[in-house]
Structure 1
């Protein structure tokens, strides 16, 4: 059935122009305001700073406690992730527990990707070139009577591509507890007990700030200058995986050594109406994935995941992407009258898009296909501020590709598209070199042209 929907969409593309098939988004729907508790969030983090020691990104990577593995052949370090297709570019595997290859139910699901190429123009954080990956804590299907039953929220992995070593950092939401002590809890869809883990479907690192997609609202924001080290804290505990926050004089983090508290948040001016999601009149957007565009003035990019079964070939139900201006000096949103307004928004050309990022007016989109190879799409350039994207070329992706991050070449020309595949046992962190996407040598490989769409 999925294949029928895909080819039906392509047949429509051949028979009608995008404007005949769909309606361009309304830019007025894309406006964000600062969270009402913005000042309180930062104040709580400053209070935590008086209680716990910090560690910087470079030092975290140097003592990273997990070991990944770089691919050393075209078959990659996990051929299950590519459905046995070759990949000629750089790729890495996580260790067995994070790859989901040790059996049993998997607790964490990888989603977002961002790199130091997003964060800094010189593409270095001190002497390191980190890649970051977000994960959400997946509910077990049945209770396990272990710490896996706890709602642990979201975490970010700091991955060193030079050594393939990496370290998980737990994202947390700071609050003042009933005793007046500064504490924190796991990241939730709503920051109250009983709510599910935040999906963290996309992340974008720009300057000191890490922007995490908040599906129903906008963004949660974190600061690289505030990563707290519970192992080195006199009042920290990294052995108890069941507890989080401040309890009886100690700080816990579900067993994680590092916790990174939210310092700010941005929410849609008009609350999203979940009954209208993925429709022509959706209104405020869903924030499923995000990226950074450093071509011209810097922007964050965002997009909506709309499933095939919902869109059913209707382009007006396929989702939207948008570009949000950033202040290159501060790393913060560029505001108009106190609001963060997108200055471009487009209708997606097809549904099931898991990641997207723009560069030089061209959009790159990743699409999942269940247990089969996904797709990487390259669109025709868009110079207008609204419209409907058109697919130019179609390429193979791994099984279950997620968020996309573009790492430009040092001279600013198009570089590589990083992504991660999410399915347990089929996980791979890899890059597609943009200048090789249409190479004849890459045909049929991951990143290469798909012969069905030539």
Structure 2
């Protein structure tokens, strides 16, 4: 997993470049100006720092809670039987716009260097809907399906507050929508014609007789085999949150036969998923030990879950997570990974140990990058998406390991190009989440603000080819 030979070659290469650079500086006082004032975050986060302390690693543990299998089967039967992702895609009823049909503001969110291999924009109604915000992206192994997670902001809700979104009977008013989570399942089998269908994420009740909406800000997603893993931000109490990972079975979508109702769950003689045709129930959850919660104020305690992605190149495959902080906090972030279980009846769940079925981090680091928006691990390298220093600026995509950090340099604007100014702010604007597709070698991400919502892919080899 460490690729030591490659690291030694990088060190020798860096030593040679340093020697040549020193010679050049000795010969002339002139040097190319790198505008660090325009770089996202600090000039460089340097090398990753390995976390090995047992106490620090213990803060990364998550306790597993499985949905009752009997209750889940009961619920599936009551709603008419399970539906798979193929059926969901066959009913796709929304069309994405190709890059040529994207608005200028949407295309302005694309990276400067490297350029996007392809880009898509959402149907106009979703592109400007301030009630829902895109937060995360992941792809199936063959890149035929893209899943994008969106969170309800609370705008337009009849009832403000942080209460669970529960089912209601006939005549019950609209439930509080804030924090509801939905996923756009995008049929990407034809790159020239992407279509998608919305699915509501739900949690079954303990007795299997009903379900309620999952209230979550989806900071990250990972798709392995037939499992979808998402990060869920819980309510805050005294500075702490109950963040969790939820796992969903992509072979077990539930049908909602009542599509003209705000209700979530049992609706009269039928089932409703807040106007959506399908609901996807959670089959497992992973959270900090009881009473612990996470702390988004600094990087000393239990970390709050930020982004999430899948690393297929590790053995076994792992999900990779990054730490999330409160807005405005400039803290170095922790990044770490959990192993996925490969046994037949637990494929796609996290590997657990002990009587409490705890998932432990198999590798953990601290990056000096601040404002981390997404993280991806691939063949021993860690790609860290750092938010822009300026509100309207481009972000920075670092490649880090235990030896150092590399990054692309570019002229962010035409004026910078004419002045010979280059910076590290080359990645997209307002990006959220990273996902790698091995079939096409593409690195996917999406952007969230109105009117700059775009879903795009960059070839990972192009990312690596621009790094200095």
Once the two structures are superposed, the pairs formed by residues 100-115 of structure 1 within 5 Å of their partners are: 100=128, 106-115=130-139
Structure 2 residue aligned with 1:314:
none
1:66 to 67, 86, 94: 94
3-state DSSP of counterpart to 2:449 = coil
Q: Aligned in 2, Cα 1:181/1:366: closer, same or farther, shift over 3 Å?
A: closer
Contact 2:67 2:282 in 1 (8 A): no
Measure how far apart 1:377 and its partner are: 2.0
Aligned: 1:237 with 2:232: no
Which runs of 5 or more structure 1 residues have no equivalent in the other structure?
Answer: 118-122, 189-197, 231-235, 312-316, 383-388, 440-447
Structure 1 residue aligned with 2:11:
none
1:9 to 35, 39, 42: 42
Contact 1:93 1:427 in 2 (8 A): yes
Structure 1 residue aligned with 2:104:
79
- TM-score, normalization by structure 1: 0.76
1:207 to 204, 210, 225: 225
Deviation string, structure 1 residues 388-432 (Cα, Å, up to 9, x no partner) = x8431146222210011111247xxxx221111000211111112
Deviation string, structure 1 residues 432-454 (Cα, Å, up to 9, x no partner) = 21111255xxxxxxxx66xxxx6
1:429 to 441, 446, 455: 455
Structure 1 residue aligned with 2:77:
50
3-state DSSP of counterpart to 1:239 = coil
1:255 to 249, 252, 275: 275
Which runs of 5 or more structure 2 residues have no equivalent in the other structure?
Answer: 1-35, 161-172, 234-241, 409-423
Deviation string, structure 1 residues 65-114 (Cα, Å, up to 9, x no partner) = 00112224xxx7243134376644111111001111xxxx6111101111
Contact 2:387 2:396 in 1 (8 A): no
Aligned: 1:187 with 2:187: no
Q: Distance in 1 between matches of 2:51 and 2:77?
A: 52
Contact 1:278 1:318 in 2 (8 A): no
RMSD: 3.0
Contact 2:51 2:365 in 1 (8 A): no
1:171 to 201, 207, 215: 201
Structure 2 residue aligned with 1:120:
none
Deviation string, structure 1 residues 147-198 (Cα, Å, up to 9, x no partner) = 596346101110112231000100011115xxx771111112xxxxxxxxx1
Measure how far apart 1:6 and its partner are: 6.0
1:420 to 443, 446, 462: 446
3-state DSSP of counterpart to 2:251 = coil
Q: Aligned in 2, Cα 1:77/1:148: closer, same or farther, shift over 3 Å?
A: farther
Deviation string, structure 1 residues 122-162 (Cα, Å, up to 9, x no partner) = x27xxxx1000001111127859995963461011101122
Aligned: 1:28 with 2:58: yes
Structure 2 residue aligned with 1:217:
243
1:137 to 152, 165, 168: 152
Measure how far apart 1:303 and its partner are: 0.7
Deviation string, structure 1 residues 263-293 (Cα, Å, up to 9, x no partner) = 111112365455x4342422x2211110000
3-state DSSP of counterpart to 1:64 = coil
Q: Distance in 2 between matches of 1:159 and 1:70?
A: 13
Q: Distance in 2 between matches of 1:10 and 1:247?
A: 56
Measure how far apart 1:115 and its partner are: 0.4
Q: Aligned in 2, Cα 1:141/1:6: closer, same or farther, shift over 3 Å?
A: farther
Measure how far apart 1:345 and its partner are: 0.9
- TM-score, normalization by structure 2: 0.73
Aligned: 1:310 with 2:329: yes
Q: Distance in 2 between matches of 1:357 and 1:8?
A: 19
Q: Distance in 2 between matches of 1:429 and 1:88?
A: 10
Higher mean Cα deviation, 361-370 or 295-304? 361-370
Q: Aligned in 2, Cα 1:147/1:91: closer, same or farther, shift over 3 Å?
A: farther
3-state DSSP of counterpart to 1:397 = coil
Structure 1 residue aligned with 2:126:
98
Once the two structures are superposed, the pairs formed by residues 297-336 of structure 1 within 5 Å of their partners are: 297=315, 298-306=317-325, 309-311=328-330, 317-329=331-343, 330-336=347-353
Contact 2:203 2:214 in 1 (8 A): yes
Contact 2:106 2:121 in 1 (8 A): no
Flag the structure with larger Rg. 2
Which protein, 1 or 2, shows the higher relative CO under an 8 Å CA cutoff with sep ≥ 6? Answer: 2
Structure 1 residue aligned with 2:184:
157
Measure how far apart 1:323 and its partner are: 0.8
Measure how far apart 1:18 and its partner are: 7.0
Contact 1:81 1:399 in 2 (8 A): no
Contact 1:159 1:165 in 2 (8 A): yes
Q: Distance in 1 between matches of 2:42 and 2:208?
A: 55
Q: Distance in 1 between matches of 2:244 and 2:157?
A: 31
Contact 1:402 1:419 in 2 (8 A): yes
Higher mean Cα deviation, 141-150 or 361-370? 141-150
